[in-house]
Structure 1
Amino acid sequence: MDAGVISLILFVLLLALLASGLWVAPTLIAVGYVALGVFSPAPAGTLLASTVWDASWNWALTALPLFVWMGEILFRTRLSSDMFTGLAPWTSRLPGGLLHVNILGCGVMAAVAGSSAVTCATVGRMSMPELRKRGYDEGLAIGTLAGSGTLGLLIPPSIMLIVYGVVAQVSISRLFIAGIVPGVMIIAIFMTYVAIRSSLNPSLAPKPDRHLSFGEKLWASRFLIPVMGLIFVVLGSIYGGFATPTEAATIGVIGALVLAAVSRSLTWDSFMESLMGAVRTSCMIAFILAGAAFLSIAMGFTGVPRVLAGYVDAWNLSPFALIALLTVLYIFLGCFLDGVSMMVLTAAVVLPMVEKAGIDLLWFGIFTVIVVEMAQITPPVGFNLFVLQGMTGRDILKVTKAAMPFFALMLLGILIITLVPEIVLAPVQFMLSK
């Protein structure tokens, strides 16, 4: 049977199983089993057992549950309120005022949590009551949280970068280095947008009641010392070559437990809640990765990736056209799948095409994560939208409308790194030259 027909049958089966409500991981395994059992003479049962086993003991994955646990611990501390206290004095006089605390706070939280949902929920539950009380525009406040909350997927240590590194066999340390400048760039784009909108319409962000002196701002900054210290230790140990991502994650967990204990927010109940939250999230991701690994093997035996790559090659697409096509594909998939599922589901087909087009897999990892970030704020399954809906009590349409400008700004970020790939690659080359 023609590989194009096989791919169509498998794609329809995949959509049917997902639409039925079956979990993503069993769906991937079921489609892979059908692909091998019906369209290939390979022993499906033997390959299933060996592939799932191989995918489950990958050493690089050990960093994943540790970084997730670190974020879960910090989610239950006074870290968010301390961040607001430390950042607010420095942003109050900027056009947009305390709305910038949402953006910067999410950036800081992303550097210690690694999770989009944790970042969005932690900063949002602290900032939204304050912004409402001071008369800030609710739509713009929700939008800054929706967009900036996705930074947890890009700014290291990022769970999504770990997943991509495992799937694409790319160095996780290099991905962490490559994610910093694009992350800072997107923060700057968001802050510029907020400043311009607030300048054009001052009613969106009221002026502060009084201005603090430089000394008062410095004194308020003492609340940032714990979290900034943890960021420096965790990321500095990786970039300095003193620790692997797994070892740095262990240091991060210990540091988070110390911060929680010092802030007197570490109880036995909060400890167990953080531990079980990390177990649930990590098991879900590991299960999806195992299912995706089996589907990738099955697709390889059917020859579908090779044939599809041949189709794309016959179209004579330039790298820019291929990136544009993949951006549209990922945005479409993001309407129906979560980020991890979207990334691992497409890896078997997309990565060979990208390599054949001469696109650097390190750069493509950052591109993929930014597009996955966009999926976090696309209905109907944009997870950050649900987090903000539950937090604000507003309907999903209003939350989505508030998030759409930041969706467009992330598209701008993709355009910039596509035109100037050195934004992603130059920091890695600089660190390797040291």
Structure 2
Amino acid sequence: MIEIALVAVLLFAALLVGSVWIGLSLFGGGYILLTIYKPNIPLETFSGKLLWTAATSQELLALPLFILMSDILVTAKLGRSLFSGLAPWVSRLPGGLVHVNVVGSTLFAAVSGSSAATTAIVGRVTLPELQAHGYDRRLSMGSLAGAGTLGFLIPPSIIMIIYGVVSEQSILRLFIAGIIPGLLLACFYSLYIAVHHTVIGGHRDARRYSWAERWKGLAEIGPMAALIAGIMGSLYFGLASPTELASVGVLGAIILSAVRGELNLTNLALAGRRAVRTTAMMGLILLGAALLNAAFGFLGLPRAAADWIAGLGLSPFTLIAALLLFYVVIGMFLDGTSIIVMTLPVTLPLVTAAGFDPIWFGIFIVIAVEISQITPPIGFNLFVIQAQTSETVGNLVRAVFPFFMILVGFALLLAAFPQIVLFLPGQMT
């Protein structure tokens, strides 16, 4: 079994080094493994049926719709409204306008489902504004990178859809499970900003906003708040399936874009092209992973790995800590979708055998993917901020390190108190 695992790793590494797309590398790895170790399987017929089943999964319908919703909102240029709407409410808090990074990312995450999109939209406005107001540049960049990861945790989440499809868990329950952890993590980010400002000191905004300006700010973010309320309410009360919710979300994004005067054929075509590219990339990865995971199952790798881990006699918490370290390491080299589809066939049986709920593990692995978003060398949020600021990767890593540690600590907190995740799904009938 060790030989098979080593061959699988070397195959995948060779394909990636050869600049083969990740989806094709996954497919090629699975195909070659089955050819070598299971030559009696009619691979053409088997792989064709498997890929057709994976591609026509009902749950996958929500994925392109949520991606399209996110891209429509990106073209609507929401960043300016978020800043002008939130600034009057957070300016007097310790840390001042830096909190806009956190609150703005939380709001946009609730309508986008994408970490990179959240970081790009919020940062495009907040970073120049915070620099112009004299705020600490390192704290501004670090808080944006950390808060941008909320795009994966606060529903609707593209990564949760991927996890739900691969693990065969309820996407609706996953969405519900992400609400409390997402809001709690946002609070931890803001708490750190406030403590950092109180202990270290920093810029204090001298401007005082009137209540008229505050109510005007609420009107700026009102349409987005209404869309969020509709999505969250439909989720919690079970009024719509994830696919139906995604359809309504696209309609809401179009309406919001029209309200902001950004709805035109050019923007819709741009959003459509972006959505098609992203969906095709994720679809190819999912199809490749379907064959690779089937190969792993035929060859008995998940069972062998589970037996080996069980033989170590690790406590449940130690197991989770070890898995977190594992995900942090592989997150340095792989994107979130690849992390989930490649590791889940092995790790999910381990955590369920240790007594953890699969829904809980879905939120845990989303946190792990969030960590990968701010971990070099393949941290997409770092790339987004680097493109906006021209900062070196070294400076960005130093800026984001406190928020990296918050994410690691938060993942361990969820392991110690799983009811943080499971409370809301437990209330569903």
TM-score > 0.5 by shorter chain = yes
Compute the displacement of 1:345 (Å). Answer: 0.6
> Which residue is 2:30 aligned to?
32
> Which residue is 2:116 aligned to?
117
Compute the displacement of 1:215 (Å). Answer: 4.2
> Which residue is 1:280 aligned to?
277
Q: Where do 1:159-174 residues align within 5 Å?
A: 159-174=158-173
Q: Does structure 1 conserve the Cα–Cα contact (< 8 Å) formed by 2:321 and 2:412?
A: no
Choose from 261, 264, 267 the match for 2:261: 264
Q: Deviations over 1:334-382 (max 9, x none)?
A: 0100000011011121122222222110000000000100000111111
> Which residue is 1:18 aligned to?
16
Choose from 338, 341, 347 the match for 1:341: 338
Q: Where do 1:274-313 residues align within 5 Å?
A: 274-313=271-310
Choose from 401, 406, 409 the match for 1:404: 401
Compute the displacement of 1:237 (Å). Answer: 1.6
> Which residue is 1:418 aligned to?
415
SS in 1 for 2:149: helix
> Which residue is 1:234 aligned to?
231
Question: Does residue 129 of structure 2 align to residue 130 of structure 1?
Answer: yes
Cα distance in 2 for partners of 1:354, 1:48 equals 29
Q: Where do 1:2-401 residues align within 5 Å?
A: 3-40=1-38, 41-203=40-202, 206-401=203-398
Compute the displacement of 1:77 (Å). Answer: 1.2
Q: Does structure 2 conserve the Cα–Cα contact (< 8 Å) formed by 1:327 and 1:371?
A: yes
Structure 2 counterpart of 1:399, one-letter code? L
TM-score, with structure 1 as normaliser: 0.97
- With 316-325 and 123-132 compared, the bigger mean Cα shift is at 316-325
Q: Does structure 2 conserve the Cα–Cα contact (< 8 Å) formed by 1:47 and 1:294?
A: no
Q: Does structure 2 conserve the Cα–Cα contact (< 8 Å) formed by 1:14 and 1:27?
A: yes
Q: Does structure 2 conserve the Cα–Cα contact (< 8 Å) formed by 1:4 and 1:308?
A: no
Taking every aligned residue pair, what percent have the same amino acid on both sides? 44
Q: Deviations over 1:24-69 (max 9, x none)?
A: 1111111101111101132222221111111101111111111111
Q: Does structure 1 conserve the Cα–Cα contact (< 8 Å) formed by 2:352 and 2:358?
A: yes
Q: Write out the 4+ residue segments of structure 1 that deviate beyond 6 Å after TM superposition.
A: none
Q: Deviations over 1:48-102 (max 9, x none)?
A: 1111111101111111111111111111114221111111111101110000000
SS in 1 for 2:427: helix
Compute the displacement of 1:213 (Å). Answer: 3.2
Cα distance in 1 for partners of 2:269, 2:385 equals 25
Cα distance in 2 for partners of 1:17, 1:328 equals 25
Structure 2 counterpart of 1:403, one-letter code? V
Ranges in structure 1 where 5+ consecutive residues have no aligned partner: none
Compute the displacement of 1:19 (Å). Answer: 2.2
Q: Does structure 2 conserve the Cα–Cα contact (< 8 Å) formed by 1:110 and 1:155?
A: yes
Cα distance in 2 for partners of 1:21, 1:321 equals 36
Q: Does structure 2 conserve the Cα–Cα contact (< 8 Å) formed by 1:4 and 1:307?
A: no
SS in 2 for 1:308: helix
Structure 2 counterpart of 1:197, one-letter code? H
Cα distance in 1 for partners of 2:44, 2:355 equals 35
Structure 2 counterpart of 1:356, one-letter code? A
Q: Deviations over 1:180-201 (max 9, x none)?
A: 1110111011111110111122
SS in 1 for 2:95: coil
TM-score, with structure 2 as normaliser: 0.98
Q: Does structure 2 conserve the Cα–Cα contact (< 8 Å) formed by 1:334 and 1:372?
A: yes
Q: Does structure 1 conserve the Cα–Cα contact (< 8 Å) formed by 2:177 and 2:422?
A: yes
SS in 2 for 1:129: helix
Superposed CA RMSD? 1.1
Q: Does structure 1 conserve the Cα–Cα contact (< 8 Å) formed by 2:77 and 2:121?
A: no
SS in 2 for 1:340: helix
